[in-house]
Amino acid sequence: MSGPNCVIREVSKDVWTFSSPFSVMNIFPAKLRELGPVKWIIGADRFHHMFLADFKKEYPDAKVIAVDAAKMKKEVAGVGLKFDGVLCVSTQAWGADPPNTKYGFEDDIEHCYFSGFLNKDVAFLHKDSRTLIQADFLFNFPAHEQYSLAGGTPFFSWSSWNPLSWTNRKTVWWLGHDKEAMRRDVKTVANWDFDRIISCHGDVIETGGKKAWTEAYRDFLD
């Protein structure tokens, strides 16, 4: 991730992306140390948690926060990772925190946990830059920036799988297994003030992010 193929970019003040070809790499971005101390390590859904323990080892003073599904996987695997917070909407979940728990970043970043989404994702809003940060809610392929230094064919180069596409709309409808909970949380995010969307998969949507969100999730907003 910190090698010659990684595009390190400040997309807005205090918001940085580290874009590299889609693969599994256990390498830490050296640029993080220049930005200051790492305060939080977030497992933002049930799949994006593979290196939480590695990051904790690298940044021992950081707090580890994850969704309940990710914590459950780590507990079952016997990783021995201590969690400082568990995101969920129910205290009956796997060690979840009480509703409206504050983690310390709320002045800068708002978050919404999607209990009705199969991947158990969390949406984050960086308020000052009006940036929505998310993992699997929206894909924006092809992933040009991730491959711009690496050469080769961008992941999903043949695809027009983007937030305005029929593919994305139908995929998120299928992933939304609890339709009522989805309607609640989709509307919450739709009411946030953002223009940019940073996705784990694909290029950053620099502007028009609100339109992208409402189009991708219009079946939940009707």
Look at residues 129, 95, 97 and name the one whose alpha carbon lies nearest to residue 113. 97
At 51, the pLDDT band (50, 70, 90 cuts) reads confident
The pTM of the full predicted model, rounded to 2 decimals, is 0.82
Rounded mean pLDDT of 187-209?
A: 93
Asked if the structure places residue 30 within a domain, the reply is yes
Beta bridge partners of 202: 140
Tell me what pLDDT residue 1 has.
44
Which of 6-20, 156-170, 191-205 has the least mean pLDDT? 156-170
Rounded mean pLDDT of 89-93?
A: 54
Tell me what pLDDT residue 5 has.
73
Contacts of 181 (CB under 8 A, 6+ apart): 89, 114, 115, 116
* Greater model confidence, 89 or 155: 89
Contacts of 105 (CB under 8 A, 6+ apart): 39, 40
Asked if the structure places residue 129 within a domain, the reply is yes
Burial of 180 (0-12, 13-18, 19+ CB in 10 A): exposed
- Tell me, what CATH number does 48's domain have? 3.60.15.10
Burial of 72 (0-12, 13-18, 19+ CB in 10 A): middle
Asked if the structure places residue 102 within a domain, the reply is yes
Q: Is the pLDDT of residue 50 over 60?
A: yes
Residue 59: CB atoms within 10 Å: 18
Asked if the structure places residue 34 within a domain, the reply is yes
Tell me what pLDDT residue 62 has.
95
- The domain of 196 spans 8-220
What percent of the chain clears pLDDT 90, i.e. is strictly above it?
44
At 4, the pLDDT band (50, 70, 90 cuts) reads low
Asked if the structure places residue 1 within a domain, the reply is no
Asked if the structure places residue 3 within a domain, the reply is no
Q: Is the pLDDT of residue 193 over 90?
A: yes
Tell me what pLDDT residue 25 has.
46
Beta bridge partners of 65: 42, 85
Asked if the structure places residue 199 within a domain, the reply is yes
Number of domains in the chain: 1
Asked if the structure places residue 112 within a domain, the reply is yes
Q: Is the pLDDT of residue 28 over 80?
A: no
